[in-house]
Amino acid sequence: MLRVGYIGLGLMGSAMARNLMKAGYPLVVHNRSRGIVDQLVAEGARAAHSPKEVAEQVDVVFTNLPDSPDVEKVAIGENGIIAGAHDGLIFVDNSTIKPETARKLAVDLAKAGIVALDAPVSGGQIGAQQGTLVFMIGGPKEAFEQLDPLWKAMGKSWVLVGDSGAGQIAKAANQIMVAAQMAAMGELLVFAQKSGVDPFKVVEAIKGGAAQCWTLDVKPPRLAQGIRTPGFKAHMQLKDLNIVLDTGETYHAPLPLSEVTREMFKDMIDHGDGEQDNAAVLSVLERKTGIHVGPDAPKP
C-alpha cells in the first residue's frame, strides 16, 4: 500500500487527509500550526516536523497551501520536499496556484527525481468532507494512473487534463465560472428581494430550468438560514481571480467578466468580509440597495 504524506491541513487539506486515513492509507502529516496535526495524530496519523521529513517517509506527498509562494517554499525551499527526495517519490499539489509556477516546480523537482502532478480541486469544504471532490490534473499519465485509488478515496471525478500546468489552467477556468455564478446568484437574490418577491421562492422556481447549476442547488439553503460562513472563503476566491486575470494576461486572453467579478470580491473584502463564504458576495449589492437577504429580511 502507498505511504502518503499531507502538508497543509486547513479546511480542505484536513478533510482530505482524513479521507485518505479512512481508506486505510498510512499517513504522515505536517502543518505550520500544530493543533490540527495533534488531532490527526490522535486519529492515527504520524507527525513530521518539516516537509523534508514528510517526503523521506512516503511514496506520495500532497500539499494544499494558500498561494504560489507557499507551495514553492514547501516544495523547493529549505527543508522542503526536494530535500527529502528519493526514488519513486510523487509530489501532488492540491493548491490553486499560477500555472506557470506549477510548470516551473515540475521542472525543478524532476531534477531531483521527483514526479510532479498539479491537481487542484473543486467542491469546497463539503466536497472535501464527503469525499466528492473533482480533481483537475496536469502531469505525466503514468503517475496519474498510479494514484487512481487515492483520487477515489478523496473524490468523485479525476481527469488528466494535459501536461504539467494543465490542471491549474482547468482550475482557473473553473474559478471563472464559480465566481460568475456566485455574483449572478447574489444579483438575482437581491433583485428579487428588492422587487418585493421572496428570493428563495424565485430560486425554487428557476433552478429546475436553464438556470440550474451547483451554486443554486447548494448555496441558497444556507443563505436562507443566515449562514455565510465558509465553505470557500471570499478572500481565496479573490486570490483565484487574480490568478485567472494574471494568466489571461500571460496568454493574451480577454476576460471582461472576470474583471467585473474580481471587483465585486475586492469590494467585499475591502469591507472586512474576506473570511465569509464566497456566496456572501451578495453583500456588495445589499450595501448598494440597503436591503438584506436572509431569514431576518422583511417578508415581501
> What is the pLDDT at residue 231?
84
Distance of alpha carbon 65 from alpha carbon 31, whole angstroms? 10
Residues with a catalytic annotation lie at: 171
Q: How many domains does the chain have?
A: 2
27: CATH: 3.40.50.720
Among 162, 187, 208, the domain-final residue is 162
Domain residues for the domain of 59 are: 4-162
Give average pLDDT by consecutive 10-residue segment, the chain, 300 residues: 97 97 98 96 98 98 97 98 98 98 98 98 93 98 98 98 98 98 98 97 97 96 96 94 97 98 98 97 97 83
Q: Is residue 225 part of a domain?
A: yes
> What is the pLDDT at residue 124?
87
27-30 vs 46-47, strand pairing mode: parallel
| 123 shares its domain with 233 | no
> What is the pLDDT at residue 296?
80
| 140 shares its domain with 251 | no
> What is the pLDDT at residue 131?
97
> What is the pLDDT at residue 108?
98
- Give residue-wise pLDDT tens across range 173-220: 999 999 999 999 999 999 999 999 999 999 999 999 999 999 999 999
Among 145, 162, 179, the domain-final residue is 162
Query: Cα separations (Å) of 82 from 70, 90, 112, 164, 204?
Result: 14, 11, 7, 17, 51
pTM summary value? 0.94
Q: Is residue 297 part of a domain?
A: no
